[in-house]
Amino acid sequence: MIRDKLKRVIILVVAVSLILGATVVFSEPGSENDPLVSLSYLEKRLEQLKLYMDEKLEGNSSTSSIKMEVVEVNSGQSIIGRSGTEIILRGGKARIIAGELGGLSDVTDGKDLSMDIPVPPNHLLIVPRDDGRGAYAITDAIFLVRGDYEIR
């Protein structure tokens, strides 16, 4: 009786092993249930991604958005930036030209600079709106500028 039970258990274990083994042997590599990624496939996809990113970066870049431009402003002239223009006073003296809704954002000090305040040298200033904001040169001044601007 114990021998019969032992035989049944052994037969059951062998049957289950055969079924599971057949499933593993006959499964298709790379299927939905068993994904397989080869190195060549991965390299191909990475190259496609690199080309896509290069195209997007080239399409969105312009000289004014990549590097800062040195701009000389004569005494009595103004530099007026468009929305998002970045300005840094590198030499000379200038005063802030504000708009009705505020002045220039001084990112270096974290404050808003209002009308006629002296432009702090070497501070990054951002023109937040396209409403005539900028800087008036008291003396000949040198600015670093990234973005669209106009000298008046």
Kindly state whether residues 59 and 74 are assigned to the same domain.
no
Identify the band that residue 112 occupies on the pLDDT scale cut at 50, 70 and 90.
very high
Whether 22 and 55 share a structural domain? yes
- Which of these three, 45, 63, 81, is where a domain ends? 63
Q: Which two tokens stand for residue 75?
A: 């005494």
105 and 139 share one domain: yes
17-42: pLDDT as tens digits: 777 776 665 556 666 666 677 778 78
Whole-angstrom distance, CA of residue 80 vs CA of residue 150 = 5
Q: Distance (Å, rounded) from C-alpha 92 to C-alpha 85?
A: 20
Give pLDDT, residue 134: 96
pLDDT: which is higher, 8 or 129: 129
Residue 59 or 144, more confident: 144
- 49 phi and psi, to 5 degrees? -65, -40
pLDDT recorded at residue 14 = 82
Q: What pLDDT shows up at residue 34?
A: 61
Residues 91, 138, single domain; the answer is yes
Q: 81: domain range?
A: 68-151
Tally of structural domains, the chain: 2
Same domain, 79 and 35: no
Q: Based on the domain organization, do 25 and 91 belong to the same domain?
A: no
Could you tell me if 136 and 97 are in contact, meaning their C-beta atoms sit under 8 angstroms apart? yes
Instruction: Show which of 63, 82, 116 is a domain's final residue.
Output: 63
> pLDDT averaged over the chain?
85
pLDDT digits (tens, 9 = 90+) for 57-78: 776 544 445 789 999 999 999 9
Residues 50 and 93 in one domain: no
Check residue 64 and give its pLDDT: 45
Final residue in a domain of this structure, among 35, 63, 91: 63
pLDDT (0 to 100) of residue 26:
59
pTM for the whole structure: 0.58
Asked if 112 and 102 touch (Cβ cutoff 8 Å), the reply is yes
Q: Within this chain, do residues 75 and 134 fall inside the same structural domain, yes or no? A: yes
The H-or-E segment that residue 63 falls in is helix 63-66
The residues with which 88 forms a beta bridge, in sequence order, are: 144
Reduced 3-state DSSP string for 20-36: HHHHHHHCCCCCCCCCC
Inter-residue contact 106 to 113 (CB < 8 Å): yes
CATH number, domain containing residue 95: 2.60.120.10
